[in-house]
Amino acid sequence: MATLMQQQPTMRTTALETIPQKRFPLVHVLTSKTESDEIKSHLIDRRIRLCQKLCRHYQNGFAVKDLHYLMKIFNILGELCQQQPNYIDVFIQILQNSSKPFLLDKSTDGEIYSSALVAFYSDFGYLLRIPIKRIQKCILETLLKSIQSSNKSPIPSNDYDSLKPTTVDYIHRIQRNSDLCETLVKTLSLVENDLSLRILIIKLLQKLSSKSPECIAKMLTHDCVNRLISRINDNDSSG
């Protein structure tokens, strides 16, 4: 089974480029530092190329065993995007891959890695702290897509090399058990002046809380109602 550290081809029917182990870990490349402007420019280009290669390699979904390294990469890229806008496009591409079903070695991995996935989605929600609207919008859209009933694996299930894609119901349950609801409610105050982001958050909260008393309780605990109506009485700038 491939990991982000090993970078071996995952899909049998998709022509994926082999990424030699010596080229990784990507975490190390992303955290390399230099004082020279010329070398720094080269380093940025190299990082972006490696991120693009990572994105292509896992275009059909990430392996559930890679969750730990994946979130490390997300956090590092989130910081880099705030320093250098050149990273934003490739970060968004990688984030979008997270909407696809995760890949399991065997059916029992769903239970084995359930706690790790709960932690992953809690941390994924925390990425909304990145003050870049394109990234925030991508995170919310990625979460919404991941639990839509139409979100199927991009390739036939019998074309995986002994891997099994997670189901939408499984991911929905995992997200409900995470801190996503609390994080989304708190994020409402951060984006109170952006209607489009607030609408995405509300849609996601509706999805997560549907038939889930636990999620509703979490939302109420964090004063969701007041946060939702806090802007209702504001003057309409459009007149």
User: Residues 126-164, buried b or exposed e (16+ Cβ, 10 A)?
Assistant: bbbebeeeebbbbbbbbbbebbeeebebebeeeebeebb
Give the mean model confidence (pLDDT) for residues 82-95.
95
pLDDT tens-digit profile of 112-157?
999 999 999 999 999 999 999 999 999 999 999 999 977 666 556 5
pTM: 0.80
pLDDT at residue 18, rounded to an integer: 38
Dist CA 201 CA 83 (whole Å)? 26
Residue 159 lies in a domain: yes
pLDDT tens-digit profile of 13-49?
333 333 333 334 566 777 766 555 556 788 889 899 9
Residue 236 lies in a domain: no
pLDDT at residue 36, rounded to an integer: 57
Regarding predicted confidence, which is higher, 184 or 219?
Answer: 184
The mean predicted confidence, pLDDT, of the chain is 80
Domain that holds residue 82: 23-178
DSSP code per residue over 86-132: GGHHHHHHHHHHTTSPPEESSTTHHHHTHHHHHHHHHHHHHGGGS--
Residue 41 lies in a domain: yes
Dist CA 151 CA 87 (whole Å)? 27
User: Residue 56 pLDDT > 90, yes or no?
Assistant: no
Residue 134 lies in a domain: yes
For the chain, the domain total comes to 1
Residue 140 lies in a domain: yes
Residue 120 lies in a domain: yes
CB distance 140 to 200 below 8 Å: yes
Residue 15 lies in a domain: no
Residue 138 lies in a domain: yes
